[in-house]
Structure 1
């Protein structure tokens, strides 16, 4: 409705746009009793459009034939002249044939020459003097008469007048309908609210969402939380997980593909759904009021602005640290992975420490990482705690259980994930050899211990 009214107000609406508006507004009286909502009366604009335009108007105004008979007297007269023209031509042709005994005589029309009387060469000697030759063909002669000229002028001028009247009437109609824009927008806003709440209610029933308990405190407890998008896409069910903040900042470790990113994203989505008044995908949910939800997820560059992946990551992280509050929810995924290992660990540690200690910035945080050194934060700060994604090892490899449990992961399982991804066997063997070498304290990269002082 809003888009249609914008086209009508700006003068870009076609005849079909006005009909679409009428059809939409006709549904409002049927909706109102179902939702016990009062809507403004738009019967005037509905009846105006209905009385003016045919049920299936053309796409373009220039195509013509968009107004109903009886809407405009002058237009009706011209349309009658136009519609009766075929009957007049047929009667005129019959009259000429009978009057002059020319059986091959016929009356036709071309864009180049207009209306004409065509007679075959064999009977051209029977043509009366009042016939004026217009064109000679191989097997026929074409003529015109004063009577046919007068008819041609009347028909062609009728077409031109019809186009002009239809254009004027349509512009007047569109302008009148545009005056109802504020009322139509008011209806559109109410319908949008009904549509939104109806969709959320339908989703809650179909997916067995629960009503969250929202309170003023800083609590965030969700039992059996699920990711709403992934759950809808999966046919074999979604493994739920509890979200309990034992402290302020959770360090989540585990292999790639295990479900760390899904877990922190579903926490953010549940928070947003609860704040907007929706039911949430969980068994039970109790949340405090959250002022902002911040996320730093994914790897992407911004080549147009000359920013690398790591620069984009740091810019977004800076925005979080500068704007987060104690009422915020922050989800961070793999902070620091876009640079060297030591720099990455240092930055990730500093970000987590800042959120743990800076007054006014101590937001509830879910921090997914592969840096196992980060798990030591829980030993240093009581507000930090460790979570990991359960993995089951067997002779054939590993199985992701998709379950979040307390504590930190014992392995990275990077080579196992590489095997699942289909890396060549030779490459995997070389990776295992290098891993054992590094774990035993083998050859290491030379480090430049000098770090430029930026402050």
Structure 2
């Protein structure tokens, strides 16, 4: 089992899909996009990666995720390839972490009958559980990122530049860099600053108080509701 952690947008999902596609191509006799590859005999590929909601399914997104995991646990063998992407994020954080931990332990407890499983997650709290990370058969990997630190003045409060190297290496995640993703998505800076403030207060166990903002500040961050050529809805 390989547990992959790393920042947002660092390539975790792409890495899992690349492994699945490479395994499939090898088994149908095709070339694989690699300089070299050792692909063991695989009897099935199980995934928990995409959950498509539909009124016909009569199930929530999390129920669809659970169904995929259930099929994986009931039908996978030691020769199966299992890909688990962000399982548990469809419900509250506490329940999501608990379900992910229980599922990973279920597979590890199989011992030599554990399938070849790759899982990626943002629940780095799992890395603090010795009863999981110290289990035989588990490898901890992360997506390598480079944080470009530049000399800044005290008045410069911009975020450090982050460059994702899209390379999987042994190790653990050092952060999600979610605020950098928000900045790249052009989220108003005041919103990002407030998110950082709330996160620091929660980590310190201090109360989160309302922040006074003028109407002018709020109005300056709003995007015009109707641009030229766009419908107002």
Same fold (TM over 0.5): yes
Q: Which residue of 1 aligns with 2:36?
A: 284
| Offset at residue 335 of structure 1 (A) | 0.5
Give the RMSD, CA atoms, in angstroms.
Answer: 1.7
Q: Give the structure 2 partner of residue 434 of structure 1.
A: 198
* Separation of aligned partners in 2, 1:280 and 1:330: 19
CA distance in 1, matches of 2:191, 2:77: 47
CA distance in 2, matches of 1:364, 1:293: 10
Give the deviation of 1:282 after TM superposition. Answer: 0.5
The equivalent residue for 1:410 is 174
Larger relative helix fraction: 1
Structure 1 residues 329 and 346: alpha-carbon distance in aligned structure 2, compared to 1, 3 A threshold? same
What are the residue-to-residue correspondences of 1:212-251 with 2, within 5 Å? 249-251=1-3
Q: Does 1:294 align with 2:58?
A: no
Q: Is the 8 A contact 2:52 2:61 kept in 1?
A: yes
Q: 1:308 to 1:331 in 2, by over 3 A?
A: same
Question: SS state of the match for residue 312, structure 1?
Answer: helix
Note the C-alpha offset of 1:406.
0.6
CA distance in 2, matches of 1:329, 1:346: 23
| In 2: Cα distance, 1:334 partner to 1:301 partner | 16
Which TM-score applies when normalising by structure 1?
0.41
Structure 1 residue aligned with 2:55: 303
Which of structures 1 and 2 has the larger relative contact order (alpha carbons within 8 angstroms, sep 6+)? Answer: 2
CA separation in 1, counterparts of 2:115 and 2:53?
A: 27
The Cα of 1:300 is off from its aligned counterpart by 3.0
Name the CA shift for 1:300/1:434 in 2 (closer, same or farther; >3 Å): farther
Distance 1:426 1:272 in 2: 46
* Worse-superposed segment, 374-383 or 388-397: 374-383
Pair member with larger Rg: 1
| Partner residue in 1 for 2:110 | 358
Shift of 1:373: 2.1
1:254 matches 2:6: yes
Aligned to 1:57: none
Which runs of no fewer than 5 residues in structure 2 stay unpaired? 151-159, 209-233
> Could you say if the C-alpha distance between residues 292 and 423 of structure 1 is closer, same or farther in structure 2, counting changes exceeding 3 Å?
same
Q: Return the match for 1:370 from 100, 122, 129.
A: 122
Decide which moves more: 273-282 or 377-386.
377-386
Q: State which drifts further: 263-272 or 357-366.
A: 357-366
In the aligned structure 2, how far is the partner of 1:391 from the partner of 1:408? Answer: 11
Aligned with 2:145 (options 386, 391, 394): 391
Native 8 Å contact 2:4 2:120 kept in 1: yes
Scaled by the length of structure 2, the TM-score of the pair is: 0.79
The answer to whether structure 1 residue 268 and structure 2 residue 26 are counterparts is no
SS of 1:398's partner is strand
Separation in 2, partners of 1:316, 1:305: 13
1:424 lines up with 2:188 in the alignment: yes
Secondary structure of 1:303's counterpart equals coil
Q: Is residue 105–residue 132 contact of structure 2 (8 Å, CA) maintained in 1? A: no
